[in-house]
Structure 1
Amino acid sequence: MRELILLRHAHAEPTLPDQADIDRPLSPQGLAEAEAAGRWLAENGLVPDCVLCSPARRARETLEAVLTAIGYVEQRLEDAIYEATAGTLAGLADAHRETGRLMMVGHNPGFERLAALMHSGQSGDYRGMPTAGIAVLALPDQAAIEPGVARLSAFWWP
């Protein structure tokens, strides 16, 4: 079995006038959420082998706080995660089939729809994923990312 960990970015500040959405930082609440997410991952032995992170500032800051708790892991910014659909996210995860435990840090609605699609087979069957929420999906080694292929093994939120 391998695992896909979906970590939604923590709570961000509202967009300021003349500020691009991609540049929104974490709020103080968001920083606390991200730190708690990192502790939960560490306490549950869910340290990823590789992390793909949205280039959005709030996602990068979430990952930085998580890494404080879990330590350094291989990571890279992935432009396609920002504003991604469940299909785009599935393609990214599928391209990393060889990774035993892949974590992606990004956004809704793409993350909650991907989790629902992989678990129940329908992307419209999602129930929400709060800021800094974590969905851990277990799937067979080398299995393609497709509807219904995964089991939701854990779901956490601050």
Structure 2
Amino acid sequence: MQELILLRHAEAAPQGKDGKDDRERKLTEHGRNEARAAGEWLASHHVRYDRVLCSPSERTKETAALALGQVEPEYVDGIYDATVGDLFELLDQQQGAEHVVLVGHNPGIEQLVAFLVEGRSEDYRGMPPGALARLTFPHGPLEPGRAKLETFWSPPN
């Protein structure tokens, strides 16, 4: 893997008291605008990707569709509610892909950034809804603490 984009889902409607599963929460209008803004940023920076891994929740599906366009993601159940170890293991299985996008949730996404860049997951700054981190691996394969954080972007309020 040469490049990894970690994209947190955009702003979603709050958990209702209607008994629906958390996975069914949809993006708000503000969230849809955040996801489109992420897509505009990716396009303006000519970011390429040959594999998209996405949580199967409604809010991540919507974020991926709005930010990445017509790309058909691979929906991976394990991304929802994943730990850093789960996400790292999933990425480690992507040996054939050079440019990967992972669309998921906090705290796993923000902790994964710290783990890949700093080598530890307890020290992270947070990732607001719709934010993305662009990581490269200039010093070899996917390993904790070996990624370079090229860009940290978050949508305008």
Q: Counterparts of 1:53 and 1:141 in 2: how far apart (Å)?
A: 26
> 5 Å matches for 1:35-114?
35-68=36-69, 72-114=70-112
Q: Counterparts of 2:82 and 2:61 in 1: how far apart (Å)?
A: 16
Question: Are 2:10 and 1:10 equivalent residues in the alignment?
Answer: yes
Q: Counterparts of 1:79 and 1:140 in 2: how far apart (Å)?
A: 30
Q: Aligned partner of 2:76: which letter?
A: E
Q: CA deviation at 1:15?
A: 1.2
TM-score by length of 1: 0.93
Partner of 2:20: 19
Q: Counterparts of 2:136 and 2:116 in 1: how far apart (Å)?
A: 10
Root-mean-square deviation over aligned CA pairs: 1.4
Q: Counterparts of 2:144 and 2:74 in 1: how far apart (Å)?
A: 26
Partner of 2:151: 154
Q: Counterparts of 2:140 and 2:91 in 1: how far apart (Å)?
A: 11
Q: Aligned partner of 2:71: which letter?
A: V
Indicate if the aligned counterparts of 1:49 and 1:74 stay in contact, CA closer than 8 A: no
Unmatched 5+ stretches in structure 2? none
TM-score by length of 2: 0.93
Indicate if the aligned counterparts of 1:97 and 1:141 stay in contact, CA closer than 8 A: no
Q: CA deviation at 1:157?
A: 0.3
- 1:2-58: CA deviations, max 9, x gaps? 001100000000111211100000000000000000000010011311100000100
Indicate if the aligned counterparts of 2:138 and 2:148 stay in contact, CA closer than 8 A: no
Indicate if the aligned counterparts of 1:98 and 1:142 stay in contact, CA closer than 8 A: no
- The 3-state SS of whatever aligns with 2:73 is strand
Unmatched 5+ stretches in structure 1? none
Indicate if the aligned counterparts of 2:117 and 2:147 stay in contact, CA closer than 8 A: yes
Q: Counterparts of 1:113 and 1:97 in 2: how far apart (Å)?
A: 22
Q: Counterparts of 1:83 and 1:16 in 2: how far apart (Å)?
A: 19
- The 3-state SS of whatever aligns with 1:46 is coil
Runs of 4+ in 1 over 4 A off after TM superposition: none
Identical counterparts, % of pairs: 47
Partner of 1:124: 122
Q: Aligned partner of 1:2: which letter?
A: Q
Indicate if the aligned counterparts of 2:65 and 2:71 stay in contact, CA closer than 8 A: no
Q: Counterparts of 1:74 and 1:100 in 2: how far apart (Å)?
A: 17
